[in-house]
Structure formats: C-alpha cells, structure tokens
Amino acid sequence: MNTPDGNGASDASPSGQSPGKGGIEAAPASKSGLRLRLLTAAVGVPVLLLVILFGGTTGVSVLALAAALVAGYELAGMAGVKGIRRAALTATPLLFTAAGVVIALDAPGSADAGVWRTLTSYQPGWPVAAAVALAATALILTGASASRLSPASRTAAYAAVWFGLLLAHAPMTAWAGHPALILIAVLGVFAADTGAYFTGRLIGRRKLAPTISPGKTVEGLIGGILASAAAVTILAILLDPLQTGGEDAANQGAALAVQPVEPWAWALVGVLIGFAGAAGDLFVSWLKRKAGVKDSGSLLPGHGGILDRIDSLAPNLALVFWTAVLLSNWR
C-alpha cells in the first residue's frame, strides 16, 4: 500500500516508460494525477480508519473479504484465464481470507485481556476444520486454474494463494489486538511510504531494483524504514497494542501477565514493516511486468487496482500478527 505520491516512474509497462506509483520512487508525476490520487485517498483513508476503529472484527473481516475478492479478480486477469477458470482463481484469495474470518469470528475472549490471553483462550474446534476445508478447496481451484498456463501466468495464479494467506491475517489480527494491532500495520505502512517518497524525492540516487521498478531508490527505502520505525514506536507507546497494562499489572503476577515491551523492540518491528512493505511492493511490480500491465486494475482512480494498494500492507498484516504473538509471550 502506497500513499498518494506522484513521484513515480515505472510500475508500468515492461519497457518501464509509463509513469506509475511511487513509495520509494523519485521521478515526478503530473499535477492532475497527484490531485486524483489525493482525492481518492481523502475518501478512502478515513473510511479505512473508521472501519478499523469502530467496525471491530466484523468490520475488518468484511473489508478483508472485499479486498480478497477484487485482488483475486485482478490476479486472474494477470494470469490471462477466462470463464470458469477465472471464476475459480478469483475465489482463491476469498476462500483463504474466509478461513481467517471463520476462526476470528468464532473465537472467544476479548482483546481487552491482551493478545496473549486472547490467543490462549481460543479452543480449536469446528472453525479450524472449516478453515482447513476452505483452504484445501482454494488450493484445488488454484491448481486447476493454473494448469496448462505459461510460467509467467502460473506465477500470477499462485500469487492468489499468497495474498489469500496474507489477507486471512486481517480478521485474526483485529480479533487478537482489536484496533491497535491493525493500526500498527496500516499506519506503519503509511509512514514507510511517506518517508520513502520524500526521501526519494530529495536525495534518491541509487536504483533499488532497476529491472523491476527503475524509479525506486535505495535512499527512499532507507528513509521509509526509518519513518516506519519511528511511527511504530510512537504508536506502540501510545496504544499499548499488546494490552500489557504497564509495569504494575506485570508485577502483580497475574496469570499469563505480559511484560511491557521495550521501545527498541517496537522500533525493530517498524524496521521489519518497512522492509516487508518494500518487498511486497516490488513483488507486485514484478508480477505486473511479467503480465505486461501498468496497473493491476482500475478500481481506485489515480491509484490503479486493489493489488496496487495492498501490496505493502498484506505482508505486514501477517508480520504484525505473528510478531504480536512472539512479543506477547516474551518474558
């Protein structure tokens, strides 16, 4: 996911000549294109934050399912499949995300108790069996859709599994940490993209991945990582996403009490978010180059498709969830 940047060359056609998005790119875009991006973001970002803050696990689940459905459709287009095979491939991320929704919505416990207490309160049962069935169905559909495709098209088909697995973490993260953990992921990515944009515009010189996205720079990547580290550290201090309750609660010896996490650990999480976001961005750029398209879709004016917006966020949903599990059990 990238902020409306307008700096971008090159998430485009295989020749790399068309202007694209930025994040860590340095070339300027047209003022009209930037205005369109800003307008779309002005509508979309508040809606996203409202769902995270007030929609709970149900709201995040609906948003994740919608994103998975559109992402599957876009990946099926990149794979070049049509008819029933396109429908099957479109369903792949949706089914994986639905597996995460089933687990999250049935899960007992409260995020107010803290991530570790919430996770340990979960009793596996029919939701896990249903999730396994959904995932198995998705794998079968993907295998059938990818048969007899070219290597490049098959890569896009298998990417549907990848994005489905990542988006499945959205409802589980919302359940485990209610809105704080999701905010850590989303705002950490926003900070990384913003920091990368301004750093790339000001001092970007060395190309990060010239054959994939020639406009992205090493300096932009570093700037984005530093911005993400700072933002995540500040957010973690303010929001206490693991619900540790502070030193007093930890010192009372309550069952499964979680020791407060040091700020440097959250800074490290921010660094990882910056790296994971950049890797996700480059992965989708690579997929688009192999497919010979500029944008993954046209759903979002000025931004392209859903994949163009969740490329950095999707891997960080999984990263934040499993990092929270690790930090919550950290004594």
For 209-261, how does the pLDDT look when each residue is reduced to its tens digit (9 = 90+)? Answer: 888 888 889 999 999 999 999 999 999 999 888 776 544 444 444 444 456 77
Radius of gyration from C-alpha coordinates of the chain: 20
Q: Are strands 213-217 and 207-209 parallel, antiparallel or unpaired?
A: antiparallel
Give residue 308's pLDDT band: very low, low, confident or very high (50, 70, 90). confident
Long-range CB contacts (within 8 A, 24+) of 43-49: 44/300, 48/186, 49/183, 49/186
Give residue 38's pLDDT band: very low, low, confident or very high (50, 70, 90). confident
> In sequence order, what E strands does the chain have?
207-209, 213-217
For residue 117, pLDDT beyond 50: yes
- Would you say the pTM of this structure is higher than 0.85? no
How long a stretch of residues is the chain? 331
For residue 26, pLDDT beyond 70: no
Alpha-carbon distance of 275 to 175, in angstroms, equals 25
Alpha-carbon distance of 246 to 227, in angstroms, equals 26
pLDDT at site 256: 43
Question: Locate tokens 């090159």: which residue?
Answer: 10
pLDDT at site 207: 92
At 83, is the secondary structure helix, strand, or coil?
A: helix
192-214 per-position pLDDT tens digit: 999 998 999 999 889 998 888 88
Closest-CA residue to 165 (of 204, 138, 125, 203): 138
pLDDT at site 11: 39
Mean pLDDT taken over the chain: 81
